[in-house]
């Protein structure tokens, strides 16, 4: 798998007229070389790959890394210069969306003969997932479902949002997750109008909607899923919001097929929400790619230029957010297949009203 990824990267270098690329982003070190440490360099030339690190990671690199040459440096820029000299590389790319100005200045000073080219499009090479990546993503989604099932009986009026978030995180770790994928969103009542309403000390209350956006990691790959539940009977207006968002979610899934523009999938969901009078209450894109990063390509939004391709993994997550009332978001993660899509997330998204009366009787 790593060799195929390197081949795709080399094709990209050939197209850009480059002799090599210097990768510093830990996500790329993992994707192209198998390294899970926090610091190192992968230099990919047209015929050889060099993995460089310092003495902290020498042993780990020997165990994990797949590269033609491994070298230990004392100073990173000088280590890069040595590798580029051995490759005879003159035109070299670097990651425009990751390398800092300070790092770029250091590389230029260490390699004055090199013609550097900033590359801003390397992440798109990770958009189509291979079978091993999909397996990790599916495993992470399974942990999501099992963790929510384990804590569902704890959801009751009086429980603080932050306590629910902690319980979910604990269940995901116990279920095999490496860590939470992001700061879990637990937003109840009027806080549901905040798309990124990270869990607070607010207590859950009867008659409210509760939005839970959560995920974990497996072998570096993320899960991402959102449920909106009712804590007992809720006002008709809140139930209607859920019905509208669920229909928009289902309409978007129904049009998924290889070759469809990502913005067209967004349009289907967005126009339905607008037709129900809530167009101004859906401000974010319909979805995003999920992989080694929790947010990566492709982006599903009105501005996206991407054509969806078999093997891409992304979310479908329409929402409606009404200030001083509340909000609804429903999110699944899917992998695009030759004949449509396959759900990776497993929890049902139909309207769910928890029986809070039972808790009051205990």
Q: Which residues lie closer than 8 Å to 147 by C-beta, 6 or more apart? A: 168, 171, 172, 174, 175, 177, 214, 216
User: Tell me, what's the pLDDT at 121?
Assistant: 79
User: Tell me, what's the pLDDT at 356?
Assistant: 74
Asked if 39 and 75 count as a contact pair (C-beta separation under 8 A), the reply is no
User: To the nearest whole number, what is the mean pLDDT of the chain?
Assistant: 96
User: DSSP label at 176?
Assistant: T
Query: Which tens digits make up the pLDDT trace of 213-263?
Result: 999 999 999 999 999 999 999 999 999 999 999 999 999 999 999 999 999
In 3D space, the residue among 47, 54, 51 whose CA is nearest the CA of residue 35 turns out to be: 51
Q: Which tokens belong to 47?
A: 């015929």
Query: Which tens digits make up the pLDDT trace of 316-361?
Result: 999 999 999 999 999 999 999 999 999 999 999 999 999 876 544 4
Rounded to whole angstroms, the Cα distance separating 267 from 282 reads 12
Q: Which tokens belong to 37?
A: 């440490």
Helix (H, G, I), strand (E, B) or coil at 188: strand
pTM: 0.94
Q: Which tokens belong to 120?
A: 């801003």
Residue with tokens 């480059």: 18
Asked if 191 and 153 count as a contact pair (C-beta separation under 8 A), the reply is no
Rounded to whole angstroms, the Cα distance separating 72 from 66 reads 15
Rounded to whole angstroms, the Cα distance separating 295 from 341 reads 19
In 3D space, the residue among 14, 220, 12 whose CA is nearest the CA of residue 129 turns out to be: 220
Query: Which tens digits make up the pLDDT trace of 300-310?
Result: 999 999 999 99
User: DSSP label at 67?
Assistant: -
Rounded to whole angstroms, the Cα distance separating 141 from 147 reads 10
Asked if 308 and 318 count as a contact pair (C-beta separation under 8 A), the reply is no
User: DSSP label at 43?
Assistant: E
Mean pLDDT per 10-residue run, the chain (362 residues)?
A: 95 96 97 96 97 95 96 95 96 94 95 94 93 98 98 96 98 98 98 95 97 98 98 97 98 98 98 98 98 97 97 98 98 97 98 75 44
Phi, psi of 6 (to 5 degrees): -65, -40
Asked if 278 and 359 count as a contact pair (C-beta separation under 8 A), the reply is no
- Establish how many alpha carbons lie within 13 A of residue 12's alpha carbon, considering only the half-sphere containing its beta carbon: 20
Asked if 124 and 312 count as a contact pair (C-beta separation under 8 A), the reply is no
């Amino acid at each position: 798998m790593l060799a195929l990824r390197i081949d795709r990267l080399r094709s990209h270098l050939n197209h850009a007229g480059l002799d090599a690329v210097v990768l510093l982003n830990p996500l790329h070190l993992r994707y192209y070389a198998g390294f899970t440490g926090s610091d190192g360099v992968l230099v990919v030339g047209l015929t050889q790959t060099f993995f460089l690190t310092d003495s902290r990671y020498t042993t780990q690199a020997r165990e994990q890394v797949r590269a033609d040459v491994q070298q230990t440096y004392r100073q990173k820029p000088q280590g890069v210069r040595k590798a580029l000299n051995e490759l005879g590389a003159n035109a070299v790319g670097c990651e425009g969306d990751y390398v800092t100005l300070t790092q770029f200045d250091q590389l230029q000073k260490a390699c004055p003969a090199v013609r550097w080219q900033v590359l801003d499009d390397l992440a798109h090479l990770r958009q189509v997932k291979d079978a091993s990546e999909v397996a990790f993503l599916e495993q992470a989604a399974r942990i999501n479902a099992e963790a929510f099932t384990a804590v569902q009986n704890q959801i009751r009026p009086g429980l603080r949002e932050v306590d629910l978030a902690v319980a979910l995180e604990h269940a995901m770790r116990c279920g095999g997750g490496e860590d939470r994928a992001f700061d879990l969103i637990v937003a109840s009542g009027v806080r549901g109008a905040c798309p990124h309403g990270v869990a607070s000390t607010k207590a859950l209350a009867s008659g409210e909607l509760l939005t839970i956006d959560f995920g974990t990691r497996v072998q570096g790959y993320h899960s991402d899923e959102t449920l909106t539940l009712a804590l007992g009977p809720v006002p008709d207006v809140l139930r209607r919001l859920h019905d509208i968002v669920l229909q928009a979610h289902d309409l978007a899934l129904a049009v998924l097929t290889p070759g469809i523009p990502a913005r067209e999938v967004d349009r289907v969901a967005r126009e339905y929400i607008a037709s129900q009078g809530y167009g101004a209450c859906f401000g974010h894109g319909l979805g995003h790619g999920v992989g080694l990063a929790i947010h990566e390509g492709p982006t599903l939004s009105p501005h996206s230029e991407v054509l969806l391709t078999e093997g891409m993994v992304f979310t479908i997550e329409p929402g409606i957010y009404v200030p001083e009332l509340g909000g609804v978001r429903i999110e699944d993660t899917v992998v695009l297949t030759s004949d449509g899509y396959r759900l990776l997330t497993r929890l049902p998204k139909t309207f769910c009203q928890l029986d809070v009366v039972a808790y009051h009787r205990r």
